[in-house]
Amino acid sequence: MDAADSSTTHIVIFSWLAFGHLLPALDLAERLASRGHRVSFVSTPRNISRLPPVAPALAPLIDFVALPFPRVEGLPEGAESTNDVPFDKFDLHRKAFNGLAAPFSAFLDAACAADGGGRRKPDWVLVDFIHHWVAAAALERNLPCAMLVTFAAGLMAPLGRPV
C-alpha cells in the first residue's frame, strides 16, 4: 500500500515528552502502520532524533513531525525530554511544553488543508494525559480526539468510581 494512499486512515499521535511515553507511542505508531494506517508522530526534534529507527517497511507510513521546543529562561539548553530536566526545573519544562500549543495548532491546520492530492487530513488525534490544549485544537478542526493513557492500570484504578 502506498504511504500517500488517500484511502488509509491518518492518525496523529502526540505523546508526553518522556521516553516512558514516547516509546510506547512509537510502538503504537508502528502497529497502526503495520495495518496500513498513516501516522503523524508529533514530538520535538531532539526527542525524535533519539527514538529507535522504525522498521523500513513501515517508515513510509510514519511521518515524524518535529515541533520546535520553545526556549524558556532557566531551562537547560536541549532539555526536550523529562530525562534532560533536573527535578527542580520540571515546571519550566512543562511551561515550555505548553508553548507547543500554537505550533501544534499550525501543524493541524496544515494537515487539514493537505486533504487531497493523495494526502489525507487526520482522522484521529491520539493525545497523552498532560496535553490539555490538544483536545481543543482537535475540536476546533472537527477531528476526533482520544486520550492515550500509558499508566499501569493499578495507578489509574483509584481515580475511577466504583461501579
Catalytic residues: 21, 128
In this structure, what C-alpha cell is assigned to residue 129? 494525559
Residue among 103, 141, 139, 144 nearest 126 (CA): 144
Which conformational region is residue 116 in: left (phi greater than 0), alpha (psi within -120 to 50 degrees), or beta?
A: left
Residue among 159, 158, 138 nearest 147 (CA): 138
Q: Can you spell out the DSSP letters for 112-144?
A: HHT-BTTB---SEEEE-TT-TTHHHHHHHTT--
